[in-house]
Amino acid sequence: MSPSVSDSRRGPVQPLIGITTRLDLAESTFYLRRYYAEAIAAAGGTPVYLPLIPEPSYLDRVCGLLDGLLLSGSNSDLDPARYGEEPRPRLGAVVPVRDEVDLALIARCDARRAPILGICYGAQALNVARGGSLVQDIEAEVASAVKHDQGAPYDRPSHQIRLAADSLLARLAGGETARVNSSHHQAIKGVGRDLRVAARAGDGVIEAVEDPRPDRFCLGVQWHPELGWERDALSRAIFDSFVQAAGNFRSEIRDLAR
């Protein structure tokens, strides 16, 4: 677990981390599995699940309270109209309100320089929010692709990735390779502005992007570090680093408000 960030007057900072939810269209239910919140809490953050309410005034209020944003995975695909493409035959289900809320939250957190961690769909949303594009279906569009949608058990590291030598991920991993658990059929294609590739699979598929600017934490990973973080050192390091950055951001905001 990362060391606590402290405020000299108020003690250890417990940064508030907003986590985007999913929408079950049939049941009209916002939901998300427990693992995201548990990983954030174990790293020293205070997790809160965010309903998918696209009202701008709500999004403004909630973003003003957050110290960091975790963009969760989804069983839906981003609408390709968001990155200027027509839908291809293997595009999955699209949930417009999920796209709208995630992209709006990213824009607001970017404006504040608040830390962002995107996981799977969340990494793709981050890339699209920054003007990038997606591979709509890996199997159909990538030659000699490895199996990226591994199935159960979902916490099993199933394939290797190579990390960019100068990346945050390489520092967290303590090397330039790692094995990851993988449950996705889409991937980042054109990289968005102020992002760079931080990891690739052996088939060339982009597995992670990060914002290289030194004044912010912004990382998107295509795999699922919220699953099996108790046993995987890189997964723990990702959450620890994210929550640490959110704590630092919270302290900076407090200092400015004094």
79: domain CATH number? Answer: 3.40.50.880
> Within a domain: residue 3?
no
Overall average pLDDT of the 61-87 stretch:
97
* Residue 257 pLDDT level (bands cut at 50, 70, 90): low
Alpha-carbon distance 112 to 216, whole Å?
A: 10
> Within a domain: residue 130?
yes
Overall average pLDDT of the 217-243 stretch:
96
pLDDT reading at 232 higher than 70:
yes
Contact 210, 107 (CB under 8 A): no
Q: How many domains does the chain have?
A: 1
Spell 181-205 as b/e; 16+ CB within 10 A means b: bbbbbbbbbebbeebeebbbbeeeb
> Within a domain: residue 2?
no
Q: Which of 201, 226, 251 lies closest to 71, judged by CA?
A: 226
* Residue 2 pLDDT level (bands cut at 50, 70, 90): very low
The pLDDT of residue 13: 67
Domain that holds residue 157: 8-257
> Within a domain: residue 82?
yes
* Residue 10 pLDDT level (bands cut at 50, 70, 90): very low
Show which residues are catalytic: 120, 224, 226
> Within a domain: residue 1?
no
Q: For all residues of the chain together, what is the average pLDDT?
A: 93
pLDDT reading at 6 higher than 60:
no
pLDDT reading at 213 higher than 80:
yes
% of the chain at pLDDT higher than 70:
94
Overall average pLDDT of the 193-209 stretch:
97
> Within a domain: residue 235?
yes
pLDDT digits (tens, 9 = 90+) for 14-44: 999 999 999 998 999 999 999 999 999 999 9
Spell 124-139 as b/e; 16+ CB within 10 A means b: bbbbbbbebbbbbbbe
The pLDDT of residue 9: 37
The pLDDT of residue 163: 98
> Within a domain: residue 202?
yes
The pLDDT of residue 37: 98
pLDDT digits (tens, 9 = 90+) for 106-161: 999 999 999 999 999 999 999 999 999 999 999 999 998 998 988 898 888 889 99
Backbone angles phi, psi at 157, to 5 degrees: -65, 115
Higher pLDDT among residues 4 and 51, named by residue: 51
> Within a domain: residue 233?
yes
pLDDT reading at 207 higher than 50:
yes
Q: Enter the DSSP assignment of 131.
A: T
